[in-house]
Homo-oligomer: A and B are copies of this chain.
Amino acid sequence: MNTLHDRFAGPARAALPRLTPAESAVVLRELERLERSARPGAVLDGRSPGPLLDGLRALAGEVPERLYTDSADVLLRMHEIAGSGNLQSNLSSLPLVRACFELGLVPDGGEGGPAELIVGRGHIAPAFYAEHYVRGDLPFTPLATLHQGGLTGVVDRELGFRNTMRYSLGVGVAQAVSLAWELTRRGTDRKVVCLAGDGELHEGVAFEALRFAHDVGLTNLVLVVDANAKGIEPLAKPINTGYLAAYLGRLMEADGRDEWAVQAALGALLSLPGPSVLVCRTSKGEHSFRPAARGPARPSFAAGAGRMLARHRERTGREMAVFTPDLAARFGLRGHVPYTNTGLAETLTVGMTLSLPQDTLKVVATDAMYYMDSLSMLTEATTSVRNLLVLAGRSWGAWGGAHNATNLLGLLLHTKVYEPVTAAEFAACLARLGRDPATTHVVSMVDAAFDPPGEDCSADIDSGVWLTPPGVERADAAVVTFGYAGVLVDEANRGLGVPHLHCAALTPRLAPADLAVLRGCRRLLSVEYNGARGGFGEGLRARHLLPVEVHGVRRDIARQVHARQLPLHGMAPDMLRERLARLLESREAGHAPAHA
């Protein structure tokens, strides 16, 4: 099979019901070509050395018909087919993207162009794909797979970009400065254009990069800012041009809704010596795309945080200060509790808790794409701040996330980590914080919708509860789960009856009776939707020397919608069911197998 076929054929076929008849016809024709070329020795063979984009370009050449001629229409269709994404961000940047194409900044398989292009505004990759499409460089098939296992929404070298973005917001500016510095060191005066958003420039690392570029005298950096004055929520103030001019010198402004104005200004800056910045005034609608036809999505567990916090405030009367780096919508804060949007400034978000009164409940609502760049500051806070609650969103949306994030938080001084799956467990975490205010309570917030299990750990949030109790006879095998994995295992276990102990604590304090049941088992499985290394299951092995077989995530959470992430990490119910069934089958095994 070839790479293109492997990657796009499945998701494209799955998308067929959502396509127009004309789109379906084109996709089927393209898939037919792909299948033919999937035979060994074909031109589009995955073993060809060029990037994925070269193969797609060749396919577009073979099926040249264009269904749309305006990339804005293409973007709309991509998002309608995907059912999610950042349509408005892409539309906001589309004139800038077109100007980059016109100026030859987008690699076209050949050499050169007038400068290197680093796309820091990571999630506008679809705007490039749409523009590639109308220019005849991309077939329709991949466009129909956005966020569904084919195309990802963020830039990737594989797909023709100079840079790949994964985790860290603001990384693009650092990548651009890294490249500008390297080119300078090699003695060339080739320029680097960095396409950034005004929101992402809130990140401290973007400042670090611009300050460094200025102080070491880099002359080859051109920063292009999509200034739409909006992150997920509107920015508190428009971009500070005085700041940018102080570090980049020459500053121009352009109407960013006019691709010709952008092209003219950027072209001029590319021809002038020295660093510069182009501020493009654009506008942007709602951050997240919602299909018009679809009803409101079922809210995720995380989205209930605002409501649950409000209930806690009513119950306790405690003063509460909530800080979030632009993620209020994610946690459903608006209308439930007052909060301060700190902008895309993860380290400051934690730092804002440092000087508040002891008794105030401080809530930091952030996620695994963010807090990994603020662990020093978080240690500062966990060491000195009382009544600190960290709502650690699990990035299980199309952005992916760090599989090890929860474990890292658990290794910080003075932290306890929980992953509640019922409102009662969430409330128990807050009650525990009230009793133990010197310990920072990190509450992993599941970004998925699910039915809560029938039992929970709210009576003792540090212990475990049997969702499937062991029988009267000694159990031969059992499964122990952490947080959300318990919900998945509970479903997979229906009818199998494997004794199942659910824990909300990453480091549970198991009751002696429960521990005795586990010690008596010949086969023990632990499941966590979490990094296996240094996580829940390894903790059971290390603390209790139990021969637990650890089932967890071995690489970063895939950048896929949640339903597609599950099978990639062995967490789909049928996979879990099969894993549980294997536990029961191998009763003859005298020893636990080697550490998974």
Contact = CB atoms under 8 A, between A and B. Distances in A.
Given A178-B355, A182-B355, A209-B348, 12 more contacts: A166-B380, A171-B354, A174-B348, A175-B355, A177-B351, A204-B208, A208-B342, A212-B348, A242-B242, A372-B375, A373-B376, A375-B375
A413 B556 contact: yes
Nearest to A180: B355
Contacts of A408: 375, 408, 411
Contacts of A167: 376-377, 379-380, 383
A343 interface: yes
Interface of A is mostly: helix
Interface stretch (A262-270, A541-549, A560-568, A574-582): A541-549
B236 A246 contact: no
A204 B377 CA distance: 12
A251 to B, nearest CB: 11
Interface string A364-394: 0000011011111101100110000000000
A347 to B, nearest CB: 4
Given A242-B245, A380-B167, A411-B533, A178 B354 contact: yes
Contacts of A324: none
A236 B217 CA distance: 9
Interface residues of A, number: 88
Copies of this chain present in the complex amount to: 2
26 contacts: A165-B380, A167-B379, A171-B377, A174-B351, A177-B348, A178-B354, A203-B208, A204-B204, A205-B348, A207-B207, A211-B243, A211-B343, A212-B342, A215-B343, A216-B236, A242-B246, A243-B247, A246-B246, A373-B377, A383-B556, A403-B413, A410-B534, A411-B531, A541-B541, A541-B545, A545-B547
Contacts of A541: 541-543, 545
A198 to B, nearest CB: 11
Contacts of A228: none
A415 to B, nearest CB: 10
A207 B351 CA distance: 12
